A and B are shown apart, each in its own frame.
Chain A
């Protein structure tokens, strides 16, 4: 049994919970120290992540594994952005800034925009009123789809109030219940970890 990690988890977990509720300046100073530590860990995690990404794609590229050209693009982009950023900085007009505006930004937007096409296709095929519950869901979805955009108001002035009611009453009730459930679940999981009941993070169930 490894008691060290359990003790560290218990002490740090309990201390952070206590610090959240104690406004005394000494306690807050202690929290600042812990925040500094957390930021150092985050910085190292970024470095570790980059190195891991490099190693993983280098291996695929060198062994000519399936999809190796994509690995080459990833390696080239990672090297280019890192070197250009360190040498030139990231201000307006620099290589990194141009790469961001002319390559990264349009590509990311395009990938996300493709969702509209797939969602439309999926909605057409899967959104079927096969029973009473599905019909209720379908009816609500159609009202929301039409009522939440400008054309709904243009077609019938009653659409916006109906959609507002759907959002403010049934939606809010469900969301509140889900949020409370998630909150209680998170507290319970956190307590199990802090008290050492759940030790799955140590690599065992």
Chain B
């Protein structure tokens, strides 16, 4: 009779069927959305700096907002956009909104409607939506020279010269604050051109996976605040004292992180029990990433 192999359960755990992991992630996502527990949220210094930068603008200040994201990352950036827009509206600021992503206008239009309705603001009186323009870096360079050259009409086809709110507003120089919420390297272009070349105070919002790339710009004061991912958006909502999709989503994100952490720890415990840990050995995995 074969002897019972030590750590048999550990070996089985190391070969855990990925469908069990998928089911756990599904439950970790779904349950907190159905039964929210409202875990505490404390704003980080970076998000507070972003909030304070917007908050100290006097009423009537024009803010250039470039919202550069598409539906794939809307879970992170759409609540952020709504929170920042609501903050601008609540403070009486005038956002001029544009996008450099072709599939973004539908999302931005919706964000403007949600934020505008919540704060009682109207299109072309309290905000302008310029729509999409192809060219990314060259458009940002063009915004430093002439907005009308880049966007002769707004998203709905109204010439900018027929929108009273746009009178006398034609380049970065006319905007005391630039806000870019981005899921791509467009953020780099704004930092390089708007914040550095044209010396505009700038606030940046980015996906969580990108956010750490921009910490050096925060310490060099090229950006004045940084909102990172859904957590950053939830912190902004907390500072605004509103409950949006970001705060609602944080419970689910928390439970998913805990689930993954527990799975990783269990996997490593199993590895240790089966003698897989080799001090001084090479890294890497013997297993594939799926079954």
Contact = CB atoms under 8 A, between A and B. Distances in A.
B253 interface: yes
Interface stretch (A3-11, A64-72, A145-153, A197-205): A145-153
Question: Helix, strand, loop or mixed for chain B's interface?
Answer: helix
A126 B289 contact: yes
A160 B42 contact: yes
B145 A35 contact: yes
Given A28-B145, A108-B103, A168-B215, 12 more contacts: A20-B197, A31-B141, A35-B149, A111-B72, A120-B24, A120-B25, A129-B272, A132-B279, A138-B268, A145-B261, A149-B258, A153-B40
A39 interface: yes
B71 A109 contact: yes
A42 B134 contact: yes
22 contacts: A31-B141, A42-B138, A101-B106, A101-B110, A112-B72, A116-B25, A116-B29, A117-B21, A120-B260, A121-B290, A122-B290, A128-B267, A130-B284, A131-B280, A131-B282, A149-B39, A149-B253, A152-B254, A154-B40, A164-B44, A172-B216, A175-B216
B288 A125 contact: yes
Interface of B: 16, 18, 21-22, 24-26, 29, 39-42, 44-45, 70-75, 103, 105-107, 109-110, 133-135, 138-139, 141-142, 145-146, 149-150, 156, 197, 212-213, 215-216, 219, 231, 234, 250-251, 253-261, 263-265, 267-268, 271-272, 276-285, 287-290
Nearest to B134: A42
B236 to A, nearest CB: 14
Q: Which of B16, B141, B260, B272 has the most CB of A within 10 A?
A: B260
A39 B146 CA distance: 14
Contacts of A112: 72-73, 75
Nearest to B110: A101
Nearest to A108: B71
Given A117-B22, A176-B216, A131 B281 contact: yes
A145 B208 CA distance: 12
A77 interface: no
A129 B281 contact: no
Contacts of A129: 268, 271-272, 277
Contacts of B103: 100, 104, 108
Interface of A: 20, 28, 31-32, 35-36, 38-39, 42-43, 46, 90-92, 97, 100-101, 104-109, 111-113, 116-134, 138, 141-142, 145-146, 148-154, 160, 164, 167-168, 171-172, 175-176, 179
Nearest to B267: A124
B41 A150 contact: yes
The 6 closest A-B pairs by CB, nearest first: A150-B39, A108-B71, A151-B254, A112-B72, A105-B71, A38-B138
